[in-house]
Amino acid sequence: MPSLFCAKSIYPAYDLGCIYLDLKRPDEALAAFELALSFDPNFTEAQEKIHNIKHGEALMPSGIQHP
Protein backbone atom coordinates (compact mmCIF):
# COMPACT_ATOMS: atom_id res chain seq x y z
CA MET A 1 0.00 0.00 0.00
CA PRO A 2 1.51 3.39 -0.93
CA SER A 3 2.19 5.90 1.81
CA LEU A 4 -0.31 8.70 2.31
CA PHE A 5 2.39 11.13 3.42
CA CYS A 6 5.35 10.57 1.06
CA ALA A 7 6.25 9.69 -2.48
CA LYS A 8 8.31 6.54 -3.01
CA SER A 9 12.01 7.18 -2.49
CA ILE A 10 15.33 5.58 -3.21
CA TYR A 11 16.13 6.07 0.47
CA PRO A 12 14.82 3.09 2.49
CA ALA A 13 15.12 4.95 5.81
CA TYR A 14 12.98 7.77 4.41
CA ASP A 15 10.42 5.27 3.13
CA LEU A 16 10.33 3.65 6.57
CA GLY A 17 9.70 7.06 8.14
CA CYS A 18 6.76 7.54 5.80
CA ILE A 19 5.33 4.19 6.84
CA TYR A 20 5.67 5.16 10.50
CA LEU A 21 3.79 8.39 9.75
CA ASP A 22 1.03 6.35 8.13
CA LEU A 23 0.86 4.30 11.34
CA LYS A 24 0.73 7.52 13.42
CA ARG A 25 4.06 6.73 15.12
CA PRO A 26 5.91 10.06 14.89
CA ASP A 27 8.76 9.14 17.26
CA GLU A 28 9.78 6.19 15.09
CA ALA A 29 9.25 8.29 11.95
CA LEU A 30 11.55 10.99 13.32
CA ALA A 31 14.29 8.43 13.98
CA ALA A 32 13.95 7.03 10.46
CA PHE A 33 14.09 10.48 8.84
CA GLU A 34 17.14 11.35 10.92
CA LEU A 35 18.76 8.12 9.74
CA ALA A 36 18.01 9.12 6.14
CA LEU A 37 19.80 12.43 6.79
CA SER A 38 22.83 10.56 8.11
CA PHE A 39 23.23 9.10 4.60
CA ASP A 40 22.45 12.35 2.77
CA PRO A 41 22.50 15.51 4.91
CA ASN A 42 21.05 17.52 2.00
CA PHE A 43 17.96 15.32 1.57
CA THR A 44 15.36 18.09 1.62
CA GLU A 45 12.28 15.88 1.93
CA ALA A 46 13.64 14.24 5.10
CA GLN A 47 14.53 17.67 6.51
CA GLU A 48 10.96 18.84 5.86
CA LYS A 49 9.42 15.77 7.50
CA ILE A 50 11.60 16.26 10.59
CA HIS A 51 10.54 19.91 10.77
CA ASN A 52 6.87 18.92 10.44
CA ILE A 53 7.13 16.27 13.17
CA LYS A 54 8.89 18.65 15.55
CA HIS A 55 6.23 21.31 14.96
CA GLY A 56 3.26 18.96 15.30
CA GLU A 57 2.30 19.17 11.63
CA ALA A 58 3.25 15.66 10.50
CA LEU A 59 -0.02 13.88 11.17
CA MET A 60 -2.35 16.58 9.85
CA PRO A 61 -4.06 15.92 6.53
CA SER A 62 -2.65 17.95 3.67
CA GLY A 63 -4.28 21.28 3.03
CA ILE A 64 -5.13 21.86 6.70
CA GLN A 65 -3.12 24.55 8.42
CA HIS A 66 -1.80 24.00 11.92
CA PRO A 67 -3.21 26.60 14.35
Can you give the pLDDT at residue 26? 94
Q: Which pLDDT belongs to residue 48?
A: 95
Q: pTM to 2 decimals?
A: 0.75
Residue 15: band (very low, low, confident or very high) from pLDDT cuts 50, 70, 90: very high
Contacts of 57 (CB under 8 A, 6+ apart): 51, 66
* Residues 34-54 pLDDT 10s: 999 998 999 999 999 999 999
Is the pLDDT at 67 greater than 70? The verdict is: no
Give the start-to-end residue ranges of the domains of the chain.
12-54
Kindly tell me if the per-residue pLDDT of 64 is higher than 50: no
pLDDT at 57: 80
Are 11 and 46 contacting, i.e. CB atoms less than 8 angstroms apart? Answer: yes
